[in-house]
Structure 1
Amino acid sequence: MNRTKQALSEAFWQLLEEMPYSRITVKGIVDRCHVNRNTFYYHFQDIPALAEATMQAWVEEIVEKHFNFGNPQDCLIPLVEGCIARKKAILHIYRSVQREKFLNYLDSLIGHAVGVYAQGVKSALGSDLETLPALCRFYKCAGMGLVLDWLDQDMSYDMPEFLEIICGFLQGVTHSALLGTPEGALL
């Protein structure tokens, strides 16, 4: 993303921290960036296009920085930390007309994280695992459900701590599901 687009995107994030999505205007964005309206429209068709580009860049940044996950908990922590860092903005997007696109990006991010984790499991076990796709889908759906519940609760509980507890419950279940080993065996 070039500097001007980055500045417009950052102004959008800042404004989302201050107000709901529906109250953000092109004028507010360009005033914050000290550019003119034509500059905005050169880069983006409208605010929804800016919102989509901003969310996509956010997801790509998380994926780029956290591409090597070690366990299921590590798959969700970068996403949770990214949400916490922009709490008001994330909640404003989640409650906006852009919710569906935001949820698609979350689903994509969680799916990517689980996929990276699954490839690590597959490599560590050194075999083709017939049950791996089903397990990946389960973890993606479970992760998405956890994140949605957290967002529905206004991010009011300590999600990293909650993930630690949930992953403690699931410890060994992955290994058992993949290889049929006794429950409690660590992966």
Structure 2
Amino acid sequence: MNHTKNIIIDAFWQLLEEKPYNKITVKDVVDRCHLNRNTFYYHFHDIPELLKNSIKSEHESIIQTYCNFGSPIDCITPLIQNTLKHKKAVLHIYRSLQREVFLISLNELALHMVTKYIDTATANLSLPPEDRALFIRFYKCALVGVYLDWLDSGLNYDLEKSFIRITELLHGSGKQAILRSAETICTKKSPNIMQ
């Protein structure tokens, strides 16, 4: 991403920390980053496009910074940290009419993170493709659901602490499910080996 585009996105995040999304204008953004309107329009068609690019940029940054997701907590911790870094901005987006843009990007991010986690957790196992897809969908929905509940609460509880506790309580259950799935493959292959 080029330098000017980054400056515009940074200014936009600063403004989102200060006021709701629907109150931010192109003039606000260009005034904040000391650019002219033509420069803004060279990079972005309008504020909704800037929002979409800004969210995408943040989520890509999470993926690049935290490329290994070896445990469930590894999947949600970067998301929590990034949200707390931009607390007011994220809540302003989430509570705006543009919420759908945020939700689509959140689902894509969660899908990426969970897929990497499942691939790591099952690296030495053969799973039926439908089970692999089921695990990914289940964990993605759980991750997104927990995160959205936190946003709905206004971030008023310690999500990381809660998530750590629930993973302690459920410790081993995911692994058992994965092993049961892998056994399905072994069971199906066994009759063919015996013949």
CA shift at 1:180, angstroms?
Answer: 3.1
Alignment of 1:10-21 (within 5 A): 10-21=10-21
What CA deviation, in whole Å up to 9, does each residue of 1:11-32 have, x standing for no partner?
0000000000010011110000
What CA deviation, in whole Å up to 9, does each residue of 1:116-171 have, x standing for no partner?
01110111xx1211233212211111111000100000111111101101111221
- Residue of structure 2 in register with 1:57 after alignment: 57
8 A Cα contact 2:122 2:178, kept in partner: no
8 A Cα contact 2:18 2:88, kept in partner: yes
Residues of 1 paired with 2:63 and 2:127: CA distance? Answer: 25
Alignment of 1:20-169 (within 5 A): 20-123=20-123, 126-130=124-128, 131-169=131-169
Calculate the TM-score normalised by the size of structure 2.
0.89
RMSD: 1.1
What CA deviation, in whole Å up to 9, does each residue of 1:85-122 have, x standing for no partner?
00000000001121001011111111111100111011
- Bigger-Rg structure (1/2): 2
- Unpaired runs of 5+ in structure 2? 182-195
- Unpaired runs of 5+ in structure 1? 182-187
Residues of 2 paired with 1:17 and 1:38: CA distance? Answer: 25
Residues of 1 paired with 2:167 and 2:71: CA distance? Answer: 9
Aligned residues: 179
What CA deviation, in whole Å up to 9, does each residue of 1:4-59 have, x standing for no partner?
11000000000000000010011110000001111111111000010001111111
Aligned-partner residue type, residue 129 of structure 1: L
8 A Cα contact 2:20 2:96, kept in partner: yes
